[in-house]
Amino acid sequence: MDDKLEDMICDVGEQSFVEAMYENMSIDVETMLYCSLTNFTRLSIVVRLMNLKALNGWIDKNFT
């Protein structure tokens, strides 16, 4: 399955894409995953999951 990321970047412009990604990551780094767990943000959990995926050779189907 081709996600056509390059086509999307060309459609919106590279600078706009980078700004949108930065804005989303800025929000995710401040968004707590759970109110009672202040040391886990949305971004930190996604990074940990992607790290586990890379280290263990998981495929995308493991996440769905």
pLDDT of 61: 82
Contact between 42 and 28 (Cβ < 8 Å): yes
Structure tokens at 55: 């280290």
1 band by pLDDT with thresholds 50, 70 and 90: very low
27: left (phi over 0), alpha (psi -120 to 50) or beta: alpha
Contact between 31 and 38 (Cβ < 8 Å): no
pLDDT of 35: 77
2-60 confidence digits (pLDDT tens)? 677 777 777 777 777 777 777 888 888 888 877 777 788 888 888 888 899 899 988 88
pLDDT of 2: 60
Residue 28 C-alpha from the chain's centroid: 9
pTM exceeds cut of 0.75:
no
Angle in degrees, CA 45, 50, 12, rounded to 5? 95
Domain boundaries, the chain: 14-63
